Structure formats: C-alpha cells, structure tokens
Amino acid sequence: MLKMKDILDEKDKRLHEVSKDVTFPISDEDKKLVKDMIEFLTDSQIEELAEKYDLRPGMGLAAIQLGIPKRFFVVVHEYDEGQFDNYVIFNPKLVSNSEEIIYVGDGEGCLSVNREVAGIVPRYARVTVEGYDENGNQIRIRAREELAIAFQHELDHLDGILFTDKIDPKDPYKNKNLYREI
C-alpha cells in the first residue's frame, strides 16, 4: 500500500524532469502501481480511511510523483458522495480545450506540495485528452471543470511542471478578474 512518504516532495529535482512515453504491453509492476495509486487516492478521499492511514486528500497522482519518470497518471474523481470514477491514462496528450479559463477559488493543492500556496492557476474549463488505457487501447476523454483541472495538473507533472510554477510570485492573483472561479 502506498503511503504519504512514498510521494516525492516539491524539493525533489525529479519532479522537474519530463517523463518518458510508456511502451506496451505495460509491465506487471506498472499494473500493480496503477492499482495502488487508485487505492491510495480513493482512501485519501474517504475521511475515515484518510484519518486511519494518515493520508492527505488527493484526486490525482502522476507516476513521476512516486519517482517513476513514465508518462501516466491516475485521477480518482468523487462525482457523488462515496461514488468514484477512475481515470488511468498512459501517454496522455491534450488534444483540444475551451477558450474559457477557470481557477480553483481555494487554490490548487498537490500531494507533493506540503504547504498552503496562495494564488491562482489559470486552467481551461473544458479539455479533451487522448491516450491509452492499461491494455494499449486508444482512449479519448472529455472533462469539464474540476476534472479538467485535475487532468491539466497531472499532465503538467509529466512535463516537469508543478502548479506552483504557474503562479506569478510578484502578483499571485494576476488577471483573476478575467477568469471564472470554481
């Protein structure tokens, strides 16, 4: 079972590396890792389990956050109380996006960033991501709002970018009035 200590901290230089494409078929090791990532993210969003296992709530995790520089991520989205959709995308690419820009009013968070960070991270309100599932089948997912933000956040990880890199240090709320808060 994954634990918080398995997740790299923002000070770790590996988080700024660009991850490499995954080749298919994926290894049994990567299949187990995906299963562990889903379990971790699900447990972290269920209050009793998060407390029991000392987990910070998280919605997404990229392989690089576990020190594995491979292009895949997992997002576990709670769409209703205790109801989750799991998204596992290998070699993801953003293929289209809305013109509308949104941001998380309370600020984005990250399992690799163990501190509060003030500021806004402009994100597309809607995105379409293409990639592959665990079996190498091509997939295409359209996401909106919170889920779209999660996909963009994890895609950034694969390119060595943390959400903190996207906040203007001189003006953390720059252009806030141009975007819609969610």
Q: Write down the catalytic residue from 17, 39, 130, 154.
A: 154
Q: Residue 167: count other Cβ atoms within 10 Å of its Cβ.
A: 19
**What string of DSSP letters covers 8-59?**
PPTT-GGGGSPPBPPPSSPPHHHHHHHHHHHHHHHHHHSHHHHHHHT----S
Q: Which residue has the tokens 């806030």?
A: 176
Q: Give the chain's count of helices (H) and strands (E).
A: 3, 8
Which pairing describes strands 101-103 and 180-181: parallel, antiparallel, or unpaired? parallel
99 catalytically annotated:
no
Structure-token pair, residue 169: 């240090």
Catalogue the active-site residues.
154
